[in-house]
Chains A and B, each alone.
Chain A
Amino acid sequence: MRRIMVIATNTFREAVRDRVLYNLVVFAVVMIGASLLVGRASIGIERLALVNLGLTSISLFGILISIFLGIGLVYKEMDKRTLYTVLAARPVRRWEFITGKWAGLVMTLVVNAAMMSVALFAGLLYVSGKLTSADWGVVAAIYLILLQYVLMTSLALLFSTFSTPLMSSLFAFSLFVIGSYAGDLRRFANLASGFTRVVAYGMSYAVPNFAALNMILPAAHAVPISTKLVLLDSVYVFVYAGVCLSASILIFERRNLK
């Protein structure tokens, strides 16, 4: 257990010292600033524009960061052989290594989300003068976005155990796009028949359900987000991450490391 924490902390430290990360975060903050200007242009929808654009930026940039960090996770270690000394002469099991990496990444993403939220809430304060109960919706939406990050990064980790960075990022991003339309995929499955129906149903369950984690519009329109939904989403992501993690461990365990 302690070893997992050590690896996690090191992963966190590595991510934080990576300059690309900062660029992306700064960019997101800039976007939030820009959305304030957009709000200015149209009277009455300042808060709406801010929350819409702000949450969309946090979501998109965060997903990019998640992918970027996730695919590097195992691939970089193997390519640069930094992991040799960790696995060869330390009492660290391969599964502990993967789990530690994953945990460190999640920590990084939580900090990212926090930083970007601070910027968003600063904007909200500026626009509305005070924080209202409607803003809880924004908090819930950000939490769900964080869950999106965890989902994305778990997938990226899985891909990085067997694929090159380029392919991994393509797979990961594709799954994000498809997953955003998971509901429609299921609807399509309902309408189809025969073999197509089976395949479509299968895909709609296999694909990560990003659609269920997107509450940007309700948050922007101050529509309350149900607690039950948040709970279900949390369990879903936890379990899906479990799929990715156990698959990663399985692959990594028997892999011959060059």
Chain B
Amino acid sequence: MLTAALRKELLLQWRSRAQFMAVFVFGAAALLLFSFAVGPVAEMLRQFSAGFLWLGLLLSSTLTLAESFHAEMENRAMEGLLLLPANPRALYYGKAIANWLQLTLLGIALIPVMVVLYDAGTTRIPMLILVIALGTAGLSAPGTLYAAMTAQVRSKQTLLPLLLFPLIVPALLASVKATSLIILGDPMNQMRSWIVLLASFDAIYWSLCGLLFGNVVEE
């Protein structure tokens, strides 16, 4: 049931890969704009590169997440889907995982942009990818749930970020700190606590939101 839902989501995402390109361009543009906000001071840009990367990812995520229920809303397919044997939980996890994968890919795609614009290179790429994966998982879990809610409401563009941004503050803090430690060095070995915080946040919200999703889509 979950694999069927997941397969459908991934297929949908593959079909709309042009949209992914657009979101990537948006993210890259955001990173560029941040550097204009700060000024061409190489050291400062490098200091804040982790923050810029994650802010860029966060802003891009609102686009990705809002799109994720677009197909269902277009054809009022949401109700149709729920009449199928698949339960809402499978629908939720299918979408959340698909969103997560897309956001992780986006994060990875933005790494070279960050390296070039902010001189924020690092050799610890696998670690960086792990942090991106954990951080975007934190965005995807509540984001998918709120996307389902706001897809059916007027003014959805403003509501989704309004609801999501305060909530993911811990994930944002931890992701930025962890990424910063990777880029700038970790002399006091703080990495572990931030990873643990991220992993706990993910564990809590992936279970809680899955539990509550049924309430959100039932009639």
Q: Do A and B bind each other?
A: no
